[in-house]
Amino acid sequence: METLVQEHSMTIGLSGNPNCGKTTMFNALTGSHQHVGNWPGVTVVTKMGHAVVAGAGGGVEVDIVDLPGTYSLTAYSEEEKAARNFLIKTRPAAVIDVLNADALERNLYLAVQIMELGVPLVLALNMMDEVRNHGKDIDTKLLTELTGCPAIETVARSGQGKLCLLEAAYGLAKERAGRWKPLHISYGPDLDPVLDEMEAIISKAGELAGEVPPRWVGIKILEGDESITRRCREADPEAAARLEALAAKVAAHLAKTLRAAPDAIIADYRYGYIAGITRQVVRYPKVDAERIRMSDRMDQVLTHQLAGPLAMALIIYLVYILTFKAGKLPMELVQGAFAWLGKTAEAAMPGGLLRSLVVSGIIAGVGGVLGFVPLIMIMFFLIAALEDSGYVARMAYMLDRVFRIFGLHGTSVLPFIVAGGIAGGCAVPGCMATRALRSPKEKLATLLVTPFMTCGAKVPVFLMLAAAFFPGSEAGVMSLVTLTAWVAALLVAKLLRSTVVKGASTPFVMELPPYRMPTLSGLCIHTWERSWDYMRKAGTTILAISVLLWAAMTFPGLPADRASAFDARAAGVQERIAAATAQGQQIPELEDALKEVAAQRSEEALKASAAGRAGVALEAVSRLAGFNWRVNIALVGGLAAKEVIVSTLGTAYSLGEVDAEDAAPLSRLLAQDPTFSKAAALALIIFVILYAPCSVTMVTMARESSWKWAAFAMTFNTGLAFVAAVAVFQTARLFS
């Protein structure tokens, strides 16, 4: 194959509405040859891949860029900005617009806007199987004639038509060789003369339009497009002022005569132009108005006033059960593999700092994160299935009214559930799931409160404390913890939305796509992408933080005199054991004494380490919430990963290695500790629910928003957690 590839320079954009099958088409075109590309200036992730166009003289490789799904090319949302900037700045050789041919009229709205820009455009009439099933008929040849854009029938799910599509795009790109041919639509007797005048001004000013058609700039100014208006002002203030004056004048005139804004008139004429095409192209030979479609019938149950919420609860429960039941064995295998790796490394390496670093720092830290991979893969798979089937849109639809009270959006439910809305999720995929939110304010608020949910790593902390202080009512404690997390998330969201993330709620207007059976390959690609993201982080960020934390808990280590004192004690016990063995005796008490010396030594070493000193120093403040220095170290460790809390507490309580899964002995020790009370346990539960997200979550939050907001989450959540913990501790003390 290698020799057949001649060049690698052509870029083809893939655009389309959400739910039109664009991503499926991208996967069909590029297969596994894709990677995530970040375009400058936008936070939206765009994917790139390449495909080979078969042609005379061998194959030609082309780059395919998957643009975010949008309904329009205005610049209101990040997605629209990203798509538009790509078209204007990158100037792809051609664009394939994937249309849901079953809703051709609305899907052509975006296509027409791309035509107005003039980029060489190929129309992919996708979902032709559904069109035929619904008794419709589309005259593709006529559509090509009327629009001047090659129209190709496709079914992305089965890959049907993808080769023709690629050839058409390649052929068009070659033929047009970078020339843009903007489409002229008449915008009626009021706007057309103004547009002509504007076009003349813009053409003369030269600099204004840059690479885009002058008339298009005029339309954007009439539509009140802020980013284009700003660019014009910067390029030529004088001409921009004249253009804006023209736009203001015609807007005032339209408001008086038609009581409509120019952008509404423009949309009206665009739809008129489209209707002129679809009237001729789409026929409904078997139209049957009474026929209830399968999807609508499912909605009558799945979004029913009573049955709907019940079904939703059941589906969420099933996702949860399936994830943890199916994930249990593979998770144990992976964790077992890391335990084996740790033991092998311990046996193979000479004792000392390097071994400690490799075993306790790297293998334990990275293994702790990778151990969750099977669970996360299954959860991602199920959630991708819910998304691709169209059910998530229904969840948002049903819950929007409740979430809106707290300044969130119906779609916020997905991140909450993934992050542990039902105890046992993970905040990292939860934060990633906020991508489904199209409005930046609501996305940010959701992102900031998602880590409150009871993730799988926090569960052992609560179980251990419940076992120690509320024996017998562990299930009740867990239920209360989950409920508290939800209440906290919603209330804090409300607080944030009325202070730092203020702003009107964005419109909900959302498509409810017909239910579709997800394709297995699509689900696998989604699952793999998200899981790989997670695993890569374990190899980079988590590795670094594990090493850092290990160092903080190891250095500077015991002072020489204390170390030799422990050595002497250990040597003393060892001598007595040797003496006893020589006499053929086995004294179990001596073995225990030896363990006791080692445990005391590790506790003192920990207290002398940087982390230990910090823990002791923090006691001055943390005493208010009832936390001693051991708890402090554990909580600081929890900043790296919540799994660390229980294991660090174990180390700090002289147990040496404590298995996070088996928290019983630690809970006994905690209950016996006179400096740790029931009130402190309650305060600790509240603190762990609320305080700073773990390091992986922080990195994810920063990637989904910015480091500023990740830092905000860390300080704000910890502050809130501390205030709540102090309040709980002081109140609980009054009653005990």
Partner 1 sequence: MNNCITLRQAQVNQKLRICSVGAQGELGRRIRDMGLMPGVEVTVVGKAPLRDPVALRLRDFTLALRNSEADHIVVEPVEG
| Residue 258 sits in the site that holds partner 1 (CB under 8 A) | no
In whole angstroms, the minimum distance from the beta carbon of 394 to partner 1 comes to 9
One of 306, 347, 517, 734 touching partner 1 (CB under 8 A): 306
| Residue 507 sits in the site that holds partner 1 (CB under 8 A) | yes
Residues 513-532 contacting partner 1, CB under 8 A: 513-514
In whole angstroms, the minimum distance from the beta carbon of 308 to partner 1 comes to 6
Which one, 403 or 676, has the nearer CB to partner 1? 403
Query: d(Cα 292, Cα 168) in Å, to the nearest integer?
Result: 37
One of 191, 398, 545, 681 touching partner 1 (CB under 8 A): 398
Residues 629-668 contacting partner 1, CB under 8 A: none
Under 8 Å CB-to-CB from 393, ≥6 apart: which residues? Answer: 510, 511, 512, 513
In whole angstroms, the minimum distance from the beta carbon of 285 to partner 1 comes to 15
Cis peptide preceding 262, ω within 30 of 0: no
Residues 336-355 as x/- pattern, contact with partner 1 by CB under 8 A: --------------------
| Residue 103 sits in the site that holds partner 1 (CB under 8 A) | yes
One of 506, 541, 718, 730 touching partner 1 (CB under 8 A): 506
| Residue 299 sits in the site that holds partner 1 (CB under 8 A) | yes
| Residue 273 sits in the site that holds partner 1 (CB under 8 A) | no
Under 8 Å CB-to-CB from 491, ≥6 apart: which residues? Answer: 406
Bridge partner list, 99: 125
- CA 286 to chain centroid: 43
| Residue 510 sits in the site that holds partner 1 (CB under 8 A) | yes
| Residue 257 sits in the site that holds partner 1 (CB under 8 A) | no
In whole angstroms, the minimum distance from the beta carbon of 501 to partner 1 comes to 18
| Residue 508 sits in the site that holds partner 1 (CB under 8 A) | yes
Query: d(Cα 201, Cα 206) in Å, to the nearest integer?
Result: 9
What does DSSP assign to residue 660?
Answer: T
Query: Applying CB under 8 A, which part among 23-31, 263-271, 565-573, 697-705 lies near partner 1?
Result: 263-271
Query: Applying CB under 8 A, which part among 72-80, 145-153, 337-345, 567-575 lies near partner 1?
Result: 72-80
Query: Applying CB under 8 A, which part among 261-269, 465-473, 549-557, 606-614 lies near partner 1?
Result: 261-269
One of 190, 263, 332, 387 touching partner 1 (CB under 8 A): 263
| Residue 189 sits in the site that holds partner 1 (CB under 8 A) | no
Number of residues binding to partner 1, judged by CB under 8 A? 44
Query: Applying CB under 8 A, which part among 53-61, 70-78, 451-459, 480-488 lies near partner 1?
Result: 70-78
Q: Contacts from 255-264 at CB under 8 Å and sequence distance 24+?
A: 257/190, 258/190, 261/224, 262/191, 262/222, 262/223, 262/224, 263/222, 263/223, 263/224
In whole angstroms, the minimum distance from the beta carbon of 185 to partner 1 comes to 15
Query: d(Cα 19, Cα 103) in Å, to the nearest integer?
Result: 11
In whole angstroms, the minimum distance from the beta carbon of 508 to partner 1 comes to 5
Which one, 117 or 688, has the nearer CB to partner 1? 117
Under 8 Å CB-to-CB from 287, ≥6 apart: which residues? Answer: 135
In whole angstroms, the minimum distance from the beta carbon of 258 to partner 1 comes to 11
Under 8 Å CB-to-CB from 562, ≥6 apart: which residues? Answer: 604, 608
Q: Cite the beta strand spans of 238-340 per DSSP E.
A: 282-283
Bridge partner list, 35: 48
Query: Applying CB under 8 A, which part among 41-49, 238-246, 296-304, 588-596 lies near partner 1?
Result: 296-304
Render 121-148 in DSSP notation, one character per residue. Answer: EEEEEE-HHHHHHTT-EE-HHHHHHHHS
Query: d(Cα 625, Cα 711) in Å, to the nearest integer?
Result: 23
Query: Applying CB under 8 A, which part among 23-31, 266-274, 562-570, 628-636 lies near partner 1?
Result: 266-274
Contact criterion met (CB below 8 Å) for 654 and 604: no
Contact criterion met (CB below 8 Å) for 545 and 695: yes
In whole angstroms, the minimum distance from the beta carbon of 512 to partner 1 comes to 4
- Specify the residue for token string 């008794």: 135
| Residue 102 sits in the site that holds partner 1 (CB under 8 A) | yes
- Specify the residue for token string 């579709």: 516
Q: Name the token pair of 446.
A: 């959701």
Which one, 327 or 514, has the nearer CB to partner 1? 514
What does DSSP assign to residue 656?
Answer: S
As a residue count, the chain comes to 736
Q: What angle do CA 279, 512, 146 make, to 5 degrees?
A: 20
Under 8 Å CB-to-CB from 362, ≥6 apart: which residues? Answer: 543, 546, 547, 550
> What kind and span of H or E run contains 725?
helix 707-735
Query: Applying CB under 8 A, which part among 28-36, 88-96, 169-177, 256-264 lies near partner 1?
Result: 256-264
| Residue 511 sits in the site that holds partner 1 (CB under 8 A) | yes
| Residue 72 sits in the site that holds partner 1 (CB under 8 A) | yes
One of 78, 197, 244, 268 touching partner 1 (CB under 8 A): 268
Query: d(Cα 186, Cα 195) in Å, to the nearest integer?
Result: 10
Which one, 274 or 553, has the nearer CB to partner 1? 274
In whole angstroms, the minimum distance from the beta carbon of 19 to partner 1 comes to 9
Which residues would be at the binding site for partner 1 (CB under 8 A)? 71-72, 74, 76, 100, 102-106, 109, 261, 263-264, 267-268, 271, 295-296, 299-300, 303-306, 308-309, 393, 397-398, 400-402, 404, 410, 506-514
